Each structure stands twice: as C-alpha cells, then as structure tokens.
C-alpha cells in the first residue's frame, strides 16, 4: 500500500532532559504526516476546514515506541490512510531514523490515529467526495 513520506530533523526543543525525543512529540509528527499526505494528493487541511467546513478531531491515538529518537536525527514520517468508513478515517504511521547510505532505516515508533469528520458543532458529516476518492485510491492494493 502506498505511503507518503515526509522528512524532518529532530530539534533540540523536542527532546527531554535525557536527550531523547519527548514521547508526545510523536503525535505532533503524526499530525505533520497527515497534513503532508493530504498536500501530496493536491488537497489541503486548511481548505477542508475553510471551504468545506469540516474538522477532523482525533478520537483515538496509539503509539508503540521501538527505539529512541535523539536531537539532530533525520527522521522519516510514513503516513497512509488505513480505513475510510462513513465519517471515520484512520491513518497509520511509522517513524523511522534515516540511515546512512547503504544501511537500513531504524523503526522508532508506529501508531494510528482515528478521526471523525465533523462540522464546527462536532456533528458528524461526510468527508467531501474528492477527499474521500483520493484517500480511497491510496488504499487500493
């Protein structure tokens, strides 16, 4: 299944006293992955909110930590849609440390977020058709 990959470098402010990325920052990177996935499809989170009056609140988030990320690591955020049913969307993520040439990337964390498409009053509504079509196309084998 295709994934969108976005690269970032770990900033000092993202680390804790032990020099390891603070665990909650992985959820921030998941959000970055979602935004960049939509952008790669020619869609924008901002347009979804402004033009279609849709928001995508997170109703569930999971993250399994495998290995620590540290200051100045180059990381890859892999994001893919894994479920689209009615007003529910699930995204899957993998966070990897980018390896030096000829080596394999190291899996740092993997997780999912579940979202419900809503209006500004938090009432469920359908995802606009062109967003749904683009996400479904990514989910096809």
114-129 pLDDT per residue, tens: 999 999 999 999 999 9
Element of type H or E holding 120 = none
Confidence bin at 140 (pLDDT 50/70/90): confident
Report the predicted TM-score, pTM, of the whole model to 2 decimal places.
0.94
Ranges of H-type helices in the chain: 25-40, 45-50, 129-139
pLDDT (average), residues 51-80: 97
pLDDT (average), residues 48-67: 96
The SS3 assignment for 121 reads coil
Q: Is the backbone of residue 53 left (phi > 0), alpha (psi -120 to 50) or beta?
A: left
Residues with a catalytic annotation lie at: 16
Domain ranges, ordered by start, for the chain: 4-139
Superfamily of domain 4-139: Hotdog Thioesterase (3.10.129.10)
Residues 76-86 pLDDT 10s: 999 999 999 99
* Residue 4 near residue 40, CB atoms below 8 Å: yes
The answer, yes or no, to whether residue 141 has pLDDT greater than 80, is: no
Q: For a pLDDT cut of 70, what percent of the chain falls above it?
A: 99
Residues 87-104 pLDDT 10s: 999 999 999 999 988 799
Q: Tell me which residue of 99, 74, 89 sits closest to 34, measured CA to CA.
A: 89
Phi, psi of 135, deg, nearest 5: -70, -40
């Amino acid at each position: 299944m295709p994934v969108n990959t976005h690269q970032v470098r770990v900033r000092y402010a993202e680390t804790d006293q032990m020099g390891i990325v603070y665990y909650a920052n992985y959820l921030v990177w998941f959000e970055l992955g979602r935004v960049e996935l939509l952008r790669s499809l020619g869609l924008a989170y901002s347009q979804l909110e402004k033009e279609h009056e849709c928001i995508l609140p997170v109703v569930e988030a999971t993250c399994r930590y495998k290995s620590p990320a540290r200051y100045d690591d180059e990381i890859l955020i892999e994001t893919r849609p894994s479920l689209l049913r009615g007003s529910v969307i699930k995204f899957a993520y993998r966070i990897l440390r980018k390896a030096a040439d000829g080596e394999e990337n190291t899996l740092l964390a993997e997780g999912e977020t579940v979202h419900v498409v809503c209006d500004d009053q938090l009432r469920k509504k359908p995802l606009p058709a062109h967003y749904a079509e683009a996400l479904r196309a990514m989910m096809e084998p």
